[in-house]
Amino acid sequence: MKRIEDYIGTAIYTTVLLFAGLFLVMPMIVAVVLSFDARSFLGAFPPTEFSLRWYREFLSDDYLHRGLYTSLIVSTIATLVSTVLGTFAAIAIDRGRFKGRATLEAMFLSPLIIPTVVTGFAVLIFTASLGIMDGLTRLILGHILITFPYILRTVLAVLSGVPKRYTEAALSLGAKPWLATIEVTLPLARSGIIAGAIFAFVMSFDEVAVSLFLSDPFTYTLPVALLTQMRASLNLTIAAISVIFLVVSVLLILALDKLAGVETLTGRGVYGR
Amino acid sequence: MDANRLLEIQDASKSFGSTKVLDEVSFSVAQGEIIALLGPSGCGKTTTLRAIAGFEPLDYGRVVIAGQDMTLRRPYERPIGLVFQDYALFPHMTVGQNVGFGMRHRGIPRREIPERTASVLARVQLDGLAHRKPSELSGGQQQRVALARAMATEPEVMLLDEPLSNLDASLRLQLRIELRQVLTAAGSTAIIVTHDQEEAMGLADRIVLMKAGRIVQIDAPADLYARPRSRFAAEFIGEATWFEGILRPKSSGMALETGAGLIPIEGRSDLSPGAAFGFCIRPERISVLLAEDAPLFEGADTRLAGEVTYVERLGGDVRIWVRMVDGASAQVSAKNTSVILPEPGAKVWLAFRAADGVLLPPVDTKERVR
């Protein structure tokens, strides 16, 4: 038998959750609705007329196109490089038996803790001292730095659910260590690697601070372009792009869930017993 | 190469910190022989197996297989097949790919692999399951795949780590017999790690009994059971009934003077009177006689009087506890046949042949066993 206090408690709990949810979702709903606003200025909510003019604006804006193009190149290359490096770093840290593993892991994960402004500035100074002046190279280097920890972390999480006995079994059957890694460890960590790559791509694509430091007048990422344009004149192209971002992100997350499953991201291996 | 020494472990020693997990362990295994490494957890049996496989580097000592020193070789360079306790079948490969894995990496020509996979699977009665994933198989089938995978490359030595412990009790018995038959049919030399004495007795030609990183005794199962050489061996394998006493000279030979009575000791001129010993005898070697029947019973040279304190009926077996005249408790086991069992309180005689038991010193020595 439920008591009246239980009902009151449940009601309060539900209400709080509902408001918290609304608070999180509301801004996005406003942005989505505004992206279809037909007015040429940023007017009161809700819009009185609807059109696709901001989407058309985005499609015809060369400045933004250039940003999108750079972003796609930077994020794709950075993700690929980080995925390869991060996966092997994770395997070394998880499977290896050497001193300083914990230190190495902390070092690799440090970009997660260091403020991105610091990272951006540091990479700028560092590349300059190496004589790298090319904006694209600089951006790619910076983005490898910020995406690497995401790969490392997801692959480490999935590896912790892959028993080391599989590697031992492969070795006992005559496989050399690197073949055991390629034929046994990597396939078993596959879901984590893909999840990490998608995660890294999303983080890179939407990164602002590091990109701001590393962009030059001709090489800039889409978020940097948006920020610059918004400061010059606030219009609703940014809302249209936000919606595109949102749709792509949701699709990627759905793909992630289908490929990897939620348990991978919570650290339990798909194949763990 | 000497066929009696296909595998040799020489003075294998290893410490983790200040704990000696292996303390000069030495034994050899003949070609085609099945050896069980038996002992309580932490005795070093698994470390020994892993040292043979190459996963546990030794502090000193050697591992020699087929006349070749393996001590410094990496696991994939050793002619071994390993069956893991939880099988460690590759979950992303089919049964056929699992079995073929070792053959691919040990350089067997690719075109021979499908045929050899099929024949190995047939040997463990898994014909037609090559296309299944391990997760689609029952525990018993997974165990057989693990065995087939390890055997497929025809390694010099098969190493099995608690191979049956993940199975239900009923299946375990059946697979134990199968395992023994498959290994024997293939002529495999095998080392089986187990903590289950029945498993060791049923599977092995010889048992290497270990305790605290040392070998306590190496013997055929029947000898280990009948002639334990230490109190640890007597207690670890089977059940034991003890009569403690002092050796006394007798008109012919000697006798052990115990609180329960005299036990004649023949043919042990190596022992001197006055020493303390325990007489250990297996409970099924003792007959319980009701006092009035005792004079009629032949075939025993020792009779000790006592009183039944408890009778435990365990299905096919019966265990009877008897309090001896000095108050010590003795255990007797018998088959639960139609014979009328004594009730608690009954005055009985325990009758046995002294030659069926062994004399053991009060404290186990730490001599090296090889």
Residues of chain B neighbouring A175 (CB-CB closer than 8 A): 76, 101, 105
Q: Where are the beta strands (DSSP E) in chain B?
A: 7-16, 19-29, 34-38, 60-65, 68-69, 80-83, 157-161, 189-194, 206-211, 214-219, 241-249, 254-258, 261-265, 276-281, 287-290, 302-314, 317-324, 329-335, 347-352, 358-360
Q: Is B336 left (phi over 0), alpha (psi -120 to 50) or beta?
A: beta
Residues of chain A neighbouring B105 (CB-CB closer than 8 A): 170, 173-176, 179
Where exactly are the structural domains of chain A? 53-265
pLDDT of residue A238: 82
Shortest distance between the Cα of A246 and any Cα of chain B, in A, equals 34
Residues of chain A neighbouring B88 (CB-CB closer than 8 A): 163, 165-166, 168-169
- Please indicate if any CB of chain A lies within 8 Å of the CB of B163: no
pLDDT at B95 over 60: yes
pLDDT in tens, A161-186: 888 899 999 999 999 999 999 999 99
User: Mutate which of B46, B73, B99, B105 to test chain A, going by most A C-beta atoms within 10 A?
Assistant: B105
A53-265, what's its fold? MetI-like fold (1.10.3720)
Q: What is the mean pLDDT of chain B?
A: 91
**CB pair distance less than 8 Å for B88 and A169:** yes
Residue B7's nearest CA partner among B87, B60, B59, B71 is: B71
Among chain A residues, CA nearest to B151: A173
Residues of chain B neighbouring A271 (CB-CB closer than 8 A): 91-92
Three-class HEC string of B216-228: EEEECHHHHHHCC
Distance, in Å, from the CA atom of B260 to the CA atom of B241, rounded to the nearest integer, reads 12
Among chain B residues, CA nearest to A184: B90
Which chain A residues touch B if contact means CB-CB below 8 Å?
163, 165-166, 168-177, 179-180, 183-184, 187-188, 271, 273
Report the side by side order of strands in the sheet with B358-360: B261-265, B254-258, B241-249, B276-281, B358-360
Express as a percent the part of chain B with pLDDT over 70: 98
Three-class HEC string of A56-69: HHHHHCHHHHHHHH
In total, chain B counts a number of residues equal to 370
Among chain B residues, CA nearest to A169: B88
Q: What is the DSSP letter of B258?
A: E
Residues of chain B neighbouring A180 (CB-CB closer than 8 A): 76
- φ, ψ of residue B201 to 5 degrees: the values are -65, -40
Verify cis geometry, omega within 30 degrees of 0, for the bond prior to A46: yes
Written as one letter, the residue type at A35 is S
**CB pair distance less than 8 Å for A177 and B76:** yes
pLDDT at B338 over 70: no
Tokens standing for residue B324: 């001896």
CA B307 from centre of chain: 34
- Please indicate if any CB of chain A lies within 8 Å of the CB of B92: yes
Burial group, residue B367, by CB count within 10 angstroms (0-12, 13-18, 19+): exposed
Half-sphere exposure in the Cβ direction for A100 (13 Å, CA): 3
Q: What is the DSSP letter of B153?
A: T
Least reliable range by pLDDT among A45-49, B171-175, B189-193: A45-49
Among chain B residues, CA nearest to A175: B105
Residue B30's nearest CA partner among B159, B205, B186 is: B205
The ipTM (two decimal places) reads 0.86
Distance, in Å, from the CA atom of A109 to the CA atom of A195, rounded to the nearest integer, reads 17
Contacting residues for A74 by C-beta, under 8 A, at least 6 apart:
A136, A139, A140, A143, A204, A211, A221
Residue A229's nearest CA partner among A29, A62, A51 is: A62
Pairing assessment for the beta strands B34-38 and B206-211 based on DSSP bridges: parallel
3-state secondary structure of B248: strand
Tokens standing for residue A213: 């430091």
Question: Do A143 and A78 touch, CB atoms closer than 8 A?
Answer: yes
**CB pair distance less than 8 Å for A175 and B76:** yes
Which of A165, A168, A173 has the CB atom closest to B101's CB atom?
A173
pLDDT in tens, B31-79: 999 999 999 998 999 999 999 999 999 999 999 999 999 999 999 999 9
Contacting residues for B229 by C-beta, under 8 A, at least 6 apart:
B216, B217, B358, B360
Question: Do B210 and B216 touch, CB atoms closer than 8 A?
Answer: yes
User: Mutate which of B90, B154, B191 to test chain A, going by most A C-beta atoms within 10 A?
Assistant: B90
User: Mutate which of A165, A172, A185 to test chain B, going by most B C-beta atoms within 10 A?
Assistant: A172
Distance, in Å, from the CA atom of B191 to the CA atom of B184, rounded to the nearest integer, reads 13
Window 52-91 of B: residues touching A by CB (8 A cutoff) are 53-55, 74-76, 80-82, 84, 86, 88-91
Banded pLDDT at B164 (limits 50, 70, 90): very high
Distance, in Å, from the CA atom of A161 to the CA atom of A147, rounded to the nearest integer, reads 23
Question: Do B257 and B244 touch, CB atoms closer than 8 A?
Answer: no
Shortest distance between the Cα of B2 and any Cα of chain A, in A, equals 25
Q: What is the DSSP letter of B35?
A: E
Which of B75, B81, B91 has the CB atom closest to A271's CB atom?
B91
- φ, ψ of residue B30 to 5 degrees: the values are -85, 160
Residues of chain B neighbouring A184 (CB-CB closer than 8 A): 90
Q: Give kind and range of the element (H or E) at residue B151.
A: helix B139-151
Per residue of chain A (273 residues), what is the pLDDT tens digit? 668 888 898 999 999 999 999 998 888 888 888 888 887 777 777 777 888 888 888 888 888 888 889 999 999 999 999 999 999 999 988 887 778 888 888 888 888 888 888 989 999 999 999 988 888 999 999 999 999 999 999 999 889 888 889 999 999 999 999 999 999 999 999 888 988 898 899 889 888 889 989 888 888 998 888 888 888 877 788 888 888 888 888 888 787 777 665 444 444 444 433
Question: How many helices (DSSP H) and strands (DSSP E) are in chain B?
Answer: 8, 20
Which of B55, B92, B102 has the CB atom closest to A173's CB atom?
B102
Q: What is the DSSP string of B332-346?
A: EEEE--SSPPPPTT-
**CB pair distance less than 8 Å for B91 and A177:** no
Three-class HEC string of B110-132: HHHHHHHHHHHHHHCCCCCCCCC
Least reliable range by pLDDT among A231-245, B147-161, B266-280: A231-245
Shortest distance between the Cα of B54 and any Cα of chain A, in A, equals 9
Tokens standing for residue B93: 């490969």
Residues of chain A neighbouring B92 (CB-CB closer than 8 A): 187-188, 271
- Please indicate if any CB of chain A lies within 8 Å of the CB of B46: no
Distance, in Å, from the CA atom of B157 to the CA atom of B53, rounded to the nearest integer, reads 9
